[in-house]
A = this chain, B = another copy of it.
């Protein structure tokens, strides 16, 4: 399926928990802080800040976003999707002003094929429009008017997907969209 530029569908993609593996970062920083390693299997259905006692401190600390590990297959998937879709990376970064530059640098390092026109740092995603949204937070998908893809992360695992299409990892997104 190759669409011409005018007909490309607009695809809105989240950063934390979708492109950046923030759970690995939280677990590593909690271990450094407390000495004990949290098992990701124990975090299903728990909100992020309940799962990680020092989470708010770590998310505000220098380097949290700049050094976040990449989600597996994210770079190659985005490179291919970027040819077929009108892609926008939309991150709710405004709660942590220190993250603005870190996120910008992180994207420039790992996704150099994404232009500045394609990046948005917001407070709320309620004002974002597009045809498809990939996100790990219900609050963002529930307000979106187009197709919604729920990226599995421990905090969103549970019996109810609220009508969103659940995917586990980028290879499943590729099967859906490419």
Contacts and interface: CB of A to CB of B under 8 A. Distances in A.
User: Interface on chain A toward B: helix, strand, loop, or mixed SS?
Assistant: mixed
Given A100-B100, A100-B101, A101-B100, A115 B123 contact: yes
A24 interface: no
A52 to B, nearest CB: 21
Interface residues of A, number: 24
B100 A121 contact: yes
Given A100-B100, A101-B100, A121-B100, A127 B94 contact: no
A140 to B, nearest CB: 13
A122 B117 CA distance: 7
Contact of A129 (B88, B90, B120, B129): B129
Interface of A: 10, 12, 88, 90, 94-95, 97, 100-101, 104, 115-124, 127-130
